[in-house]
Chain A
Amino acid sequence: MPLLLKTTRFVESQIDTFLDIVSDSATTFQLAIEDYLHGRIQEFEDRLSQIREYEHRADDLRVSIERFLYERTLIPENRGDVLAILENTDEVIDNIKDSLLQFSIEMPEIPSDLNELWMQTTKASVAAVEQLVFAVRSFFRDLAAVNNYIHKVYFFEREADQIGERLRRKIFAGDIELSRKSQLRFFAIHIEMVSDAAQNVCDRLAIYTIKRQL
């Protein structure tokens, strides 16, 4: 019995570490965008490498958790749901990395008058991811609180969509070439996609929460 409890505690800490990484990735994403908008390209690249590192660690942790859950037949009734949550949350980090990678490859020139809206969209997306992390943590520890956090994720996702729409309108209203407008729209949508990914996890999480409730 103590051995099993040790395994339980170990997996528990791995899940917590995984969620810490998701949270850190979101914060790093916001800082990276801020660096990029202010022309601090070296710092931006450093942040990108950091996120790549996070992505690897998150993948390793997810596989390790998966292996433990199956090998020790832990939470047999919920492990399918838990693994789906972890895989989908992992996709949020992938989205963050893809978005920054595109910045690094294409180095789009962003007019400075778009900076504020750009940051607001980023902040809304990051807030959605942070609330998602709270929701997932609650799924494991405090089932009653999950729905509150899910509600907040939906709120910030809508916020990101609305600000993103304003950003795209402003891009196309500006006095720049159509090809640049098109390129900037692509980057704006990429940032919104981070909150969309958080919302996708919440859609599943809401159902899994109902399943777990008595």
Chain B
Amino acid sequence: MFFFYLLSGLFLGWSLGANDTGNIFGAAVETRMLRFKKAALIAAIFITLGAVFEGSGPSGTLGRLGSVDALGGAFTVALAAAIAITLIVRIGIPVSTSQTIVGAIIGWNVFSGRLTDYRSIITIASSWVMAFVLSGSIAAFLFYLARPWVNRSKSHLLVQDHFIRHSLVIVGAFGAYSLGANNIANVVGVFVPVSPFTDIHIWGRFVLTGLQQLYLLGALSIVVGIYTYSHKVMRTVGKDLFHLSPITALIALLAEAIVLFLFASRGLYNLLLSLGLPTIPLVPVSSTQVIVGAVVGIGLAKGGKNIRYNILGRISLAWVTAPVLAFLISFTMLFIMQNVFEQKVQEETNYIFDRLTITRILDDGFEAAALSGVNGRSFTSERDIYRELNELKDLSRDEITNIIGIAEIYPLMVDTIALTQSGMHRRYSPEQLAILREYEGQEFRHKWQLKTILIAHDEFAYYPEPDSELQKNQNRILDGQLHQLYRTFRKE
């Protein structure tokens, strides 16, 4: 059943392979610097590698925006994104899955009564603008670096051609890797919370995690897209959208690859963190807009005479129309799926404000008066709680999200055998596993109860008030581990 529902995600993958590979190799293939067969092979290999080994960063950001918790919901969200992208591309606006999937997830949040994390929306939306501007700036910078080399070079035209040809292969591979890493979240990101895959151990040495298997499947759908349809798109991108010379194509491609990598690499993120430098959010961005940004950057560096400025207007339009359209389609389709086809598009979640949860909320520093509207009541929707809490006291969205997290009923039972059987135990240190075994069979009604007993141990170190990016990152890692435990220990 999972595989049937995954089809909509795989369709998105096919569309990504067909469309976005053109943004990497379009100019190189159209200028005949690379043959399609070679370009397709490089794209297939490196998009898959990027997706499997580096795809988790942007996926996590999408997960924070909204965690679609039922297969039917994930199917509908991915399908809504795919339909939205098809419609918008037909109008001729350069858009990508990144924009539509966000709108579709918010559609699910609203439909299922969940609160949307505004900070994630701001992070994602500002990243789209940032990616566009950044790729233009990097391309312009690279152009200024390359100009003296090309104009004053003493190397033979044929040697330059040889160099550019091989650089296109190397940079193209880097671009494909970054595209896979950055955009796989768009393809199967919504299926992450409902994925049934467990870790596979190869010769006892290598582990292919459940997440990586899901990404691998998504990557294979991208590869099918590359081989079945991308040739046509590459020709269109290379010829119609922007005709580039091989050297400018190389500059644009390098700028695109760098930007996609910056917004995808967890390794780079951690490196910047450890150096105390500002980090770049791990967000899926649009490769189409990034390459257009690079071309505009080169155009401006050349003096800005040949730039079609209307394309900037169309891109700004895409930032707004794509999420809005996807939101509307997603919401409508979820309604139809649930009420006409009677499919489960969300898990029913209950929230209770009993003595236990209220005490815990008060311990967190909230005033009792603020809770009088919800005290002793049960809820089935986050939005209802939000409304009640907001009426009495002006609490911030973060505070309300915190309260909702405490009130959520999520029955758990510590079961380290299930953890071992699913292969997920490899994500925990032997010390952490030993602590989990101490609580074997113990039951909890709320997620925070399990978290509270675990973070009391040094092995599950958590910083309640992190004062550095490093501590924030440590918290994020622990949250990921806890999230896995919640899924594995959940009692039906």
Contact = CB atoms under 8 A, between A and B. Distances in A.
- Is chain B a partner of chain A in the same complex? yes
Contact of B156 (A1, A12, A76, A144): A12
B146 interface: yes
Interface residues of B, number: 26
Contacts of B162: 4-5, 8
A12 B146 CA distance: 23
B32 A12 contact: no
A142 B150 CA distance: 9
A24 B27 CA distance: 41
Nearest to B158: A8
Nearest to B162: A8
A76 B157 contact: no
B295 interface: no
Contacts of B205: none
Contacts of B158: 8, 11-12, 74-75, 140
A214 B31 contact: no
A12 B160 CA distance: 12
Given A4-B162, A8-B161, A140-B157, A77 B31 contact: yes
A149 interface: no
A144 B33 contact: no
Contacts of A75: 157-158, 161
A212 B156 CA distance: 13
Given A12-B159, A73-B32, A74-B161, A141 B248 contact: no
A141 B155 contact: yes
B154 interface: yes
A1 B163 CA distance: 11
Contacts of A12: 156, 158-159
Interface in B228-261: 245-248
Contacts of A139: 157
Interface string B137-173: 0000001001100111111111101100110000000
Contacts of B161: 8, 74-75, 78
A143 B152 contact: yes
B151 A213 contact: yes
Nearest to A138: B154
Interface string A56-88: 000000000000000001111110001000000
Contacts of B151: 143-144, 213-214
A8 B159 CA distance: 7
**Considering residues B35, B150, B162, which has the most beta carbons from chain A within 10 angstroms of its beta carbon?**
B162
Nearest to B248: A214
B150 A143 contact: yes
Contacts of A213: 150-151
A154 B155 CA distance: 26
Interface string A135-160: 00001111110000000000000000
Given A4-B162, A76-B32, A214-B248, A82 B147 contact: no
The 5 closest A-B pairs by CB, nearest first: A76-B32, A214-B147, A75-B161, A214-B150, A8-B158
Given A141-B154, A144-B152, 8 more contacts: A8-B158, A8-B159, A74-B161, A75-B157, A76-B31, A78-B157, A213-B150, A214-B150
Interface of A: 1, 4-5, 8, 11-12, 73-78, 82, 139-144, 212-214
